[in-house]
Structure 1
Amino acid sequence: MKFSKSIAYSVTFMTLLSCSGSIISGKVMADEIHSSEVTQITKTNQGWSEHKIELLVDQLQENYSDLGRSYLKKMVVAQLNGDYKIPLQENATSTSPFVSFAVQGGWKGITVSQMGAAIDTAISIALGGIATAGIKAALSSMSKSAAKNVIKTAVIKVLGSSVPAATIEYALNYASPGYQIAKYWDEHDAYPNNGRINF
C-alpha cells in the first residue's frame, strides 16, 4: 500500500514537472518568436531609415488626412516587409455620417482612401521613396511605359489583379494615382459610389 502511494505521488510529481517544463519552454519560445518578429520588422524595411519612412508617411498623410498617421505607418512598414494586404482600420477617424453609420453597424470593409493609400504606398516603395514633389513628379520623370508598369505592378501587389490600362493611364495625371484607381474600382463594384470597396 505504501509502495503504491509513493509510486502514485512520484507519477503525479513527474507529470506536473513535465507539464510545467513544457509551459515554461512554451513561454520562452513565444517570447523568442515575438522578439524575433519585432527584430525582423525593425531590421527588414528594405534598408529604409526611420526618417525615410516618416517622410513617406508625411506625404501619404497629405493625401489621406482621413486615415490616421499610425495606420499609414503600419501600412508602410508592412509593405516594406512584403505584406501588401490592406489592413483594416481600427478606429474610424472620418467624420462622415456614412462612415460612422457603417462603424456603428459593425460592418467593416475597405474604404476608397484605404485602397488608395495602399496603392500609393506600393508605388512609392517601388520608386524607392518619393521626393517632396510627390508621386506624380516622380512618375513623370520616367517614360510613360515605365510609369504605367510601376503603377500596374503596385496594383497587382495590393489587389492581386490589375485594372484596365485606360484607368492606369488616367491615374498617371494625378498626384495620387492610387486614389484614382480606388475611385474607379468603387464606381464599378457591386455597390457603386458608396465610398467602400466591395469585392
Structure 2
Amino acid sequence: MKLRLSLTGLLAMLVAISTQATTLKLSPDIDLLVLDGHKISGSLLKGAEGLELERGQHQFLFRVEKNLQKGPQQNEIWLSAPMIVTFTTVHARSVAIQLPSLTSPSLRKAFNKNADFQLVDEKGTLIESQRDRLNTAGSIDFEQAMVIYNLKGNVASVARFARQPKPGAAANGSPDDLASSQHPGGRLLYLWYQQVDSATRQRFMVLMQALRTS
C-alpha cells in the first residue's frame, strides 16, 4: 500500500481516536519512562500536563523524581525505583497517579518496596490496577527491561506489550516528510501533527511505520 494513497483515511482515523481518549495526567514529580511497551521521549513530554490514551488496557513504567530541600541553599534529587502499573480505562475521562507522602527517608523506602500508589479518575474514584516495581539489576534500557518483565507473566505483565518490531521494520521517513508532500492530505496531516499531544504523535508514527512496511 502506498503511503500517499492512505493519508486522508489515516487522518480521519486518528481524529476519531482522539475523540475517544482518556487523559493520563502527569505531575511534575512523575518521570514517565515506557508506555505500552514503547520508550517515551523526554522531549515529547517537555511541558506536557498529560497524555491522551485510547480507552482500553494500558501499562506504563514511571519513577518519581522529587526535589528534596536539605537546607536553605542545598537541594537533592531523589529518584524512586521504577514502578509499573497496568490498568484498563472504560469510562474515565482522566487518570491520575496518586502518590503517598514521601517526606521522610522511611516513607520513601517503603514506597520503593511496596509500590504504594493509586490511580484515580477525574472524580477521585479509585481505578483498579495491578502494580509492581521493576528490578532493573543495573539495566538502563527500560524498554528492553519491560519486554523481559512482560514475558515472565508477573503481576502487572501484559504479554502483547512484549512484542518487538522486526529488524528493519522502522520507517526511514519522519513527520517532516509530510510538509514537503505533493499530496494535499500530507500537508494537512503535517499541520494536524504539530497541534496534537505526544501520545497521539507516537500512535501516528506507529501507523506510519506500518503503512511504509505494508
Q: TM-score, normalised by structure 2?
A: 0.29
The structure with the greater share of residues assigned to strand is 2
Q: Which has the higher contact order (CA 8 A, sep 6+)?
A: 2
- The structure having more radius of gyration, on CA atoms, is 1
